[in-house]
Copies of this chain bind each other. A is one copy, B any other.
Amino acid sequence: MIRAVARAATTTDAFNAVAEPRRRQILDLLAGGERPVNDLARLLGLTQPQVSKHLRVLRAVGAVDVRDEGRQRLYRLNGHALKPIYDWVTKYERSWSERFERLDVVLEELKDEERRDGES
């Protein structure tokens, strides 16, 4: 029985998983190809358990896949898990895109004209 839902678990979805900067860094590294855990730990200056825990979260939301290679476990990026984030944030692209900003200027001018027409 769930009693209280403080903050959603990091494993709830991609949004919560990548809120942690270290996990974004891990994904950025894996974008260059699959890597074993110790590689990631060394490159990021983290302890091995830290990396393993972060990878567990990333696995839970499907952002990485694993493959056994001898004693090593090679982690590989699975970018599909990030698509919901892309889809959501893309709606706001007009807020900073120059292309859209110019359109906004035009719309503002039209609005001003309407306002003047209404006053007359």
A76-120 vs B: 1/0 string, CB under 8 Å?
011110110110111111111000000000000000000000000
A50 CB to nearest chain B CB (Å): 13
Q: Specify which of B15, B79, B82, B83 is in contact with A19 (CB 8 Å cutoff).
A: B15
Size class of A's contact patch?
20 to 34
Q: Which residues of B contact A91 (CB under 8 A)?
A: 28, 31
A46 CB to nearest chain B CB (Å): 14
A99 CB to nearest chain B CB (Å): 14
Nearest residue, chain B, Cβ from A7: B7
3 closest A-B pairs by CB: A79-B95, A79-B92, A19-B19
